[in-house]
């Protein structure tokens, strides 16, 4: 098999991974149709083809390099370094599996299903608070909704959802090299404030009366079965990881339906399409367009030999639009038969998103509540896009929600 470092590959700069208003699709989709892999100047390799992306995500010979990438950018200490050092993203092997098991019940399918009425309650409350049909959807709904739900799951006061949402945005920005370069001070401050919150507010709750995930972990800490620092890292991983991602995906979902009114009409006419609609949103506009892996041993990447110590950037955005996998993948269509090939938005392998069932349920309930209330979604201004090199969300989404007659 050919070695990846001996192949004649196209070379792209980091700026190709940055784009707003979907321009990364324009840059990368055409490249992916010609090459399964490209070289990223001074960094590693961008994996574009679906089979190669799937192989990179599932390979046992890789690790998540979140902490290593942070250190490569000069951040070797401080609050955000401490946060990432204990985050589930930075763990591997048996330690990773053991810590995932501790939080899997709080985030699993059964818990997600049980929380659907709570999701609807929070959504209805947020929409009722928006007394006019014109609203900025991100701040009014998309941002507070998942923050409230993660507070419910962890056992934090729902009144803290605003703080949690703000902290989550900035802490997640540590995984985005472009954000990290321009906003390190804000990221460090958010990580420091969040650490104080977890230790001085959440961890002071009586273990015997603690709700949610706190009720699962604090008794283990009190009994000496779980280190307090590890418990704090787990709580932090869930609180931060479950807010910004769902916020971003919901905002893009509503944007897509606003720009594809015929698709919204189909959903209003047949709400049974909601699960398929959510799956299509996840496929079409993944809010983690790129995810990194570092090879820990030589790897066979779909017929290409990759040496140990190689950084691979798996491009979910192109994998989800692979024409060899999906018919007309560039078209947003909630009725399309996408076959048996699942999208890769939640990842694959050991680091498959532990909160996938919760995220899917939150999105489905959001669509259900909106369908029951809204006949048409109208953009009243241009959406303001965040960078796709981290969590690819929207900063602003001005809308008018036209109610049913």
Q: What tens digit of pLDDT does each residue of 173-182 get?
A: 888 877 887 8
HSE of 186 in the Cβ direction (CA atoms, 13 Å)? 12
The CATH number covering residue 38 comes to: 1.10.630.10
* Token duo for residue 173: 């920005």
* Exposed / middle / buried, residue 249 (Cβ in 10 Å: 0-12, 13-18, 19+): buried
The confidence score (pLDDT) of residue 21 equals 59
Which residues in the chain come in under a pLDDT of 70? 15-22
Q: What tens digit of pLDDT does each residue of 330-348 get?
A: 999 999 999 878 899 999 9
* Exposed / middle / buried, residue 74 (Cβ in 10 Å: 0-12, 13-18, 19+): exposed
* Token duo for residue 398: 């001005």
Q: Which domain holds residue 93?
A: 4-403
- Rounded to whole angstroms, how far apart are CA atoms 178 and 290? 13
- Biggest alpha carbon–alpha carbon distance for the chain: 63
SS (H, E, C) the chain: CCEHHHCCCCEECHHHHCCCCCHHHHHHHHHHHHCCEEEECCCEEEECCHHHHHHHHHCCCEECCHHHHHHHCCCCCCHHHHHHHHCHHHCCHHHHHHHHHHHHHHHCHHHHHHCHHHHHHHHHHHHHHCCCCEEEHHHHHHCHHHHHHHHHHHCCCHHHHHHHHHHHHHHHHHHCHHHHHHHHHHHHHHHHHHHHHHHHHHCCCCCCCCCHHHHHHHHHHHCCCCCHHHHHHHHHHHHHHCCHHHHHHHHHHHHHHHHCHHHHHHHHHCHHHHHHHHHHHHHHCCCCCEEEEEECCCEEECCEEECCCCEEEEEHHHHCCCCCCCCCCCCCCCCCCCCCCCCCCCCCHHHCCCCHHHHHHHHHHHHHHHHHHEEEEEECCCCEECCCCCCCCEEECEEEEEECC
* Exposed / middle / buried, residue 382 (Cβ in 10 Å: 0-12, 13-18, 19+): exposed
In terms of DSSP bridges, do strands 11-12 and 37-40 run parallel, antiparallel, or are they unpaired?
Answer: parallel
- Rounded to whole angstroms, how far apart are CA atoms 274 and 362? 12
Give exposure, 38-70, as e/b (b: 16+ Cβ within 10 Å): bbbeebbbbbbbbbbbbbbbebebbbbbbbebb
φ, ψ dihedrals at 39, nearest 5°: -95, 130
- In the chain, how many domains are there? 1
- Rounded to whole angstroms, how far apart are CA atoms 5 and 301? 13
pTM of the model as a whole = 0.94
- Rounded to whole angstroms, how far apart are CA atoms 45 and 38? 6
């Amino acid at each position: 098999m050919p070695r990846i470092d001996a192949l004649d590959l196209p070379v792209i700069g980091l700026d190709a991974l940055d784009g707003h208003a979907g321009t990364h699709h324009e840059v990368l989709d055409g490249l992916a149709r010609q090459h399964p892999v490209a070289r990223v100047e001074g960094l590693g390799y961008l994996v574009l083809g679906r089979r190669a992306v799937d192989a990179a995500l599932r390979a046992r010979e890789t690790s998540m390099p979140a902490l290593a990438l942070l250190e490569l950018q000069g951040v070797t200490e401080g609050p955000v370094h401490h946060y990432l050092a204990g985050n589930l993203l930075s763990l591997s092997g048996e330690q990773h599996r053991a810590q995932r098991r501790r939080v899997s019940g709080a985030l699993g399918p059964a818990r997600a299903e049980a929380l659907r009425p709570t999701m609807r309650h929070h959504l209805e409350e947020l929409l009722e608070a928006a007394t006019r049909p014109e609203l900025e959807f991100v701040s009014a709904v998309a941002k507070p909704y998942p923050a409230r739900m993660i507070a419910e799951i962890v056992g934090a006061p729902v009144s803290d959802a605003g703080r949690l949402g703000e902290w989550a945005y900035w802490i997640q920005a540590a995984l985005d090299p472009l954000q990290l370069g321009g906003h390190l001070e804000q990221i460090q401050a958010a990580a420091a404030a969040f650490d104080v919150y977890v230790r001085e507010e959440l961890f002071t709750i009586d273990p015997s009366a603690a709700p949610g995930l706190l009720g699962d972990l604090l008794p283990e800490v009190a009994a000496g079965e779980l280190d307090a620092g590890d418990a704090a890292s787990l709580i932090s991983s869930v609180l931060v990881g479950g807010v910004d991602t769902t916020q971003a995906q919901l905002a893009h979902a509503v944007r897509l339906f606003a720009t594809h009114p015929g698709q919204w009409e189909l959903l209003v006419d047949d709400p049974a399409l909601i699960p398929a609609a959510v799956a299509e949103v996840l496929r079409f506009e993944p809010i983690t367009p790129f995810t990194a892996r570092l090879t820990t041993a030589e790897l066979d990447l779909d017929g290409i030999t990759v040496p140990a110590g190689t950084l691979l950037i798996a491009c979910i955005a192109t994998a989800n639009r692979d024409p060899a996998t999906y018919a007309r993948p560039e078209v947003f269509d909630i009725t399309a038969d996408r076959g048996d090939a699942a999208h890769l938005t939640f990842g694959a392998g050991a680091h498959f998103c532990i909160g996938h069932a919760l995220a899917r349920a939150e999105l489905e309930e959001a669509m259900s509540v909106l369908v029951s209330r809204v006949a048409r979604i109208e953009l009243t201004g241009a959406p303001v896009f965040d960078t796709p090199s981290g969590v690819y969300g929207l900063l602003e989404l001005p809308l008018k929600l036209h109610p049913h007659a």
